[in-house]
């Protein structure tokens, strides 16, 4: 399978697209004005402690305070002289207002919510993840060979400071001792630098560590994938990544290429069109079926329909094959749109138990390629598939769009007919409470035209009822739901 990573750079935006066999699988967008902060480490100041929700709000120097839940505070992360706080799981016995804490961001600011924080600090490199304060060395479950697992564990255990814990990443499989030891040393020095910054400004809010830029971070995280091509359309970023790969990933340095063709990189690979499609609610399937994807504050709902799909022997086969095809599309859309949290999938009802099991297995296999952690709970009694996908950053829709100023994000506006009747009721109300000679209605073109045509009879009846004239003025600047009723 041929894999390609495209990196498009402008002055204010970095965009990365990951393709398998020329088909888009993931898209990452980071803007200079709103760079993600996941992984950053801060010296924070406890502003409020809320026992009712077992959490604290921490000022880390951003517009919104971060949120730290009691479960994210580990006893071995605290100072020795603060051990008394852990006689109880009560948040008030773990942190106190005015305290300064070292915290790490695990989820970006999402909508109206502040960043989600943890005291369980983790520092990643290409082959390892360091866990300060944890005396444990673990190995990725994706490394299956027991001898290799033991070899890696022994190397890291002998190389590391005994007060530090490590997780050995999948990329470390079959890596030599020299490279692993170098990674251990790099992370230990990085941690010492963080501690030095903290010590210099013990009672001050500040950033102690910042995650790598998006392009370097993606290359590091894609180490488990055999990338065949890495194309970059910026000479400056190309030079930076050459230096990065030369130091940290020399085996893929030859795959980094500077794209210089006149046709924009994302247009050549049809990524611009795919990004626009990722914002659509409806996703068409090759068979004629389709998906509806609706993202809300609490969860994402995916509904499958057969549409014009009629290519099978009977209804059961048509439904089964449409659902089967939908599993592949769903897995891909979750990755492209970066949808996370609770996800409810409403497959077309299947009476055959084997069909349901096959569809569930197909979904699990499709999601196994996802680098983000997913969990599927199977079919519920109502026939819905419930799953979760770890959410750390905003979805592509949240990055590229904001709520409609007319419908305020509801996705619906009142019909012109409904607004007409609201106007007529408003006129009657104003007539009863005021002494007016007449009324002037300012409304949108669609509402004004309806009042002068299909609803003209209702308008005349209202004018006769109040005994006053009613004039209609069309204002093209009004949205369909906006109107004004003015007394003359």
What digits encode the pLDDT tens for the residues 87-102? 446 888 889 999 999 9
Number of domains in the chain: 4
Q: What are 325-371's pLDDT values in tens digits?
A: 999 999 999 999 999 999 999 999 998 899 999 999 999 999 988 88
Query: Do 394 and 285 share a structural domain?
Result: yes
Dihedral over Cα of 389, 393, 394, 396: its sign: negative
246/326 same-domain check:
no
pLDDT in tens, 216-251: 888 877 755 678 999 999 999 999 999 888 877 788
**Percent of the chain predicted with pLDDT > 70:** 95
**Are 388 and 287 in the same domain?**
yes
Tokens of 175: 């890596």
Q: Name the average pLDDT for the chain.
A: 88
Which of 166, 183, 209 is a domain's end point?
209
- Report the distance separating Cα 426 and Cα 326, nearest Å: 48
Q: Are residues 64 and 125 in the same domain?
A: yes
Whether 53 and 130 map to the same domain: the answer is yes
d(CA 331, CA 366): 6
Q: Which helix (H) or strand (E) holds 196?
A: helix 177-200
**pLDDT tens digits, one per residue of 171-184:** 888 888 888 898 89
53 in the same domain as 183: yes
297 and 383 assigned to the same domain: yes
Q: Which of 400, 429, 453 is the last residue of a domain?
A: 400
Question: What stretches of 14-168 show up as alpha helix (H) in DSSP?
Answer: 146-159
Residue ranges with strand state E in 267-339: 282-284, 290-295, 299-305
Nearest to 420 by CA among 370, 454, 468, 463: 454
Using DSSP bridges, classify how beta strands 469-474 and 438-443 pair: parallel, antiparallel or unpaired: parallel
Q: What is the CATH number of the domain that holds 374?
A: 3.40.630
Domain-located, residue 392 = yes
Average confidence (pLDDT) over 133-161: 89
**70 lies in the same domain as 173:** yes
Q: Which residues constitute the domain of residue 110?
A: 40-76+88-209
Q: How many CA atoms lie within 13 A of 380 on its CB side?
A: 10
- In the chain, the percentage of residues whose pLDDT exceeds 90 is 57
Q: Which residue, of 271, 294, 309, is where some domain finishes?
A: 271
What values do phi and psi take at 300, rounded to 5? -115, 135
Residue 240 lies in a domain: yes
> Residue 119 and residue 103: Cα distance in Å, rounded?
5
Between CA 232 and CA 459 the distance in angstroms is: 63
């Amino acid at each position: 399978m041929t894999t390609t990573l495209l990196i498009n750079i402008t002055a204010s935006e970095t965009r990365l697209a990951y393709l398998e066999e020329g088909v888009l699988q993931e898209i990452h967008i980071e803007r200079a004005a709103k760079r993600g902060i996941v992984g950053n480490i801060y010296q924070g100041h406890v502003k409020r402690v809320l026992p009712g929700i077992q959490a604290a709000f921490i000022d880390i120097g951003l517009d919104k305070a971060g949120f730290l839940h009691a479960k994210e505070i580990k006893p071995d992360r605290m100072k020795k002289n603060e051990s008394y706080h852990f006689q109880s799981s009560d948040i008030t016995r773990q942190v106190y207002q005015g305290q300064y804490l070292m915290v790490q961001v695990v989820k970006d600011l999402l909508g109206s919510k502040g960043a989600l924080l943890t005291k369980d600090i983790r520092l990643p490199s290409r082959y390892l993840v360091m866990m300060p304060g944890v005396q444990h060395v673990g190995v990725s479950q994706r490394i299956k060979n027991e001898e290799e697992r033991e070899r890696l564990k022994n190397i890291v255990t002998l190389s590391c400071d005994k007060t530090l814990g490590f997780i050995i990443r999948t990329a470390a499989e079959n890596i030599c001792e020299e490279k692993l030891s170098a990674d251990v040393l790099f992370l230990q020095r990085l941690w010492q630098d963080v501690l030095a910054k903290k010590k210099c400004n013990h009672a001050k809010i500040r950033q102690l560590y910042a995650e790598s830029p998006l392009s370097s971070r993606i290359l590091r995280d894609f180490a488990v994938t055999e990338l065949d091509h890495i194309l970059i359309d910026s000479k400056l970023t190309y030079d930076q990544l050459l230096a990065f790969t030369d130091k940290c990933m020399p085996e893929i340095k030859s795959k980094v290429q500077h794209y210089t063709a006149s046709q924009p990189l994302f247009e050549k690979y049809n990524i611009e069109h795919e990004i626009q499609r990722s914002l659509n609610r409806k996703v068409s399937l090759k068979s004629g079926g389709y998906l509806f994807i609706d993202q809300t504050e609490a969860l994402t709902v995916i509904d499958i329909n057969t549409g014009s799909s009629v290519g099978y022997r009977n209804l059961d086969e048509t439904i089964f094959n449409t659902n089967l095809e939908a599993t592949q599309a769903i897995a891909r859309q979750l990755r492209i749109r970066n949808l996370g949290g609770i996800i409810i999938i409403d497959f077309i009802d299947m009476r055959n138990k084997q069909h349901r099991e096959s569809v569930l297995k197909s979904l699990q296999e499709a999601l196994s390629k996802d680098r983000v952690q997913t969990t599927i709970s199977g079919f519920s009694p109502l026939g819905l598939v419930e799953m979760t996908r770890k959410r750390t950053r905003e979805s592509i829709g949240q990055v590229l769009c904001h709520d409609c100023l007319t419908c305020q994000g509801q996705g619906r506006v009142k019909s012109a007919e409904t607004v007409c009747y609201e106007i007529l009721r408003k006129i009657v109300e104003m007539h009863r409470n005021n002494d007016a000679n007449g009324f002037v209605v300012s409304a949108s073109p669609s509402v004004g035209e309806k009042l002068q045509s299909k609803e003209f009879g209702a308008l005349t009846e209202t004018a006769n009822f109040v005994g006053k004239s009613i004039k209609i003025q069309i204002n093209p600047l009004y949205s369909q739901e906006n109107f004004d009723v003015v007394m003359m």
